[in-house]
Amino acid sequence: MPSDSDFAIRVEDLSIRYRTTYETNATLMGALRKVGRGERSEKRRKVRVVEAVKDVSFDVTHGTVLGIVGSNGAGKSTLMRALAGILPPTEGRITVQGRVSTLLALGVGFNGFLMDEIASKYDHITEFAELGDFIDMPMRTYSSGMYGRLAFAVSVNMDPDILLIDEALSAGDAKFKEKSSAKMKELCAQARTIVVVSHALGTIQELCSDAIWMNKGELIERGTPQDITASYLRYLKVGESAITMEDV
């Protein structure tokens, strides 16, 4: 039986809830009556409690490449932010053992590192990002693709024990995507622990050694990448094709 030291990540009974507010118009009939009287329709502010993750538990052993699949709103990104220490659990516990690098959204790859750490890897980062003269330009002048390439270059070149990636493998053009894929395979071969969220099921099958499927905040199934993507496609009622394997 594996000991605690065998686990890079341990998630125990994790639940995450948060409150969000939104504006809504009054009833349709009331709004129409106000318009008829030349009055402005009132907006009401409501509070909604979102249960983003519900009682999720799983372990990730060192050297595992775990893929996470699921529809929009499944709780994947919330889970990843919790693993990164950005979101605190409402209930349950997360234990992470090792140096973590994150690439969860545009620019998040820069978080968690000291400037001298990034400076020590400057040559590797700039060479990988291939931004040319733009590397010395203000970052506000970067396109989203350039920003994403730089963030990816920072994250994968910081020698992480654990790498968390959320929908960030598609930054850049075809050449850079090929380079990113090669770098990911290199990290996998080095027995790094990697957690990948992606709608590209082909990527999950190619890179990952394990996978989980989440839906509406719950962990539905865990297994091989092939089994999990097949279950997910059956749930979506779509077949396996070049389109569905690229983005579902």
Assign residue 233 the CATH number of its domain: 3.40.50.300
State the Cα–Cα distance between residues 65 and 67, nearest whole angstrom.
7
CA–CA gap between residue 147 and residue 57 (Å, rounded): 34
| Mean pLDDT value of segment 230-240 | 87
**Of 17, 10, 89, which is closest to residue 51 (Cα–Cα)?**
17
pLDDT of residue 56: 98
Three-state DSSP class for 213? strand
pLDDT for 21 equals 81
The answer as to whether 112 is a domain residue is yes
From the list 14, 162, 196, 8, the residue with the least C-alpha distance to 96 is: 8
Is 89 part of any domain?
A: yes
Average pLDDT over residues 87-105: 90
Q: What does the mean pLDDT of the chain come to? A: 84
Task: Judge whether residue 241 has pLDDT over 60.
Answer: yes
The domain total for the chain is: 1
Q: What single-letter amino acid sits at 200?
A: A
Residue 237 lies in a domain: yes
Say if residues 92 and 82 touch (Cβ distance below 8 Å).
Answer: no
**pLDDT above 90 coverage of the chain, percent:** 41
Pairing of strands 210-215, 65-69: parallel
Residue 175 has pLDDT above 50, yes or no: yes
Per-residue model confidence as pLDDT tens digits over 116-163: 777 888 888 889 888 888 888 888 888 878 888 888 888 888 888 999
Whether 111 maps to a domain, the answer reads yes
User: What pLDDT, on a 0 to 100 scale, did the predictor assign at position 91?
Assistant: 97
- CA-nearest of 211, 163, 167, 166 to 188 is 163
Residue 77 to residues 32, 42, 80, 172, 195: CA-CA distances in angstroms? 40, 34, 5, 21, 11
Predicted confidence at residue 31, as pLDDT, reads: 65
pLDDT score for 218: 97
Which string of b and e fits 22-49 if b means at least 16 CB within 10 Å? eeeeeeeeebeeeeeeeeeeeeeeeeee
Task: Label each residue of 79-142 as H, E or C.
Answer: HHHHHCCCCCCCEEEEEECCCEEEECCCCHHHCCCCHHHHHHCHHHHHHHHCCHHHHHCCHHHC
Answer yes or no: is 20 within a domain. Answer: no
Banded model confidence at residue 107, pLDDT cuts 50, 70, 90: very low
Give residue 30's pLDDT.
66
Q: What single DSSP character describes residue 3?
A: -
Task: Write the pLDDT tens digit of every residue in 10-54.
Answer: 999 999 998 888 666 556 666 667 667 766 656 677 888 899 999
Distance of CA 13 to the CA centre of its chain: 20
pLDDT above 50 (res 196) = yes
**pLDDT score recorded for residue 114:** 62
User: Is the model's pTM score more than 0.85?
Assistant: no
**What are 76-91's pLDDT values in tens digits?**
999 999 999 999 999 9
Res. 108: pLDDT tops 60: no
Does a structural domain hold residue 103? yes
Measured in residues, the chain has a length of: 248
Task: Taking residues 47-64, report their average pLDDT.
Answer: 94
pLDDT for the residue 166: 87
Q: Which domain holds residue 218?
A: 62-246
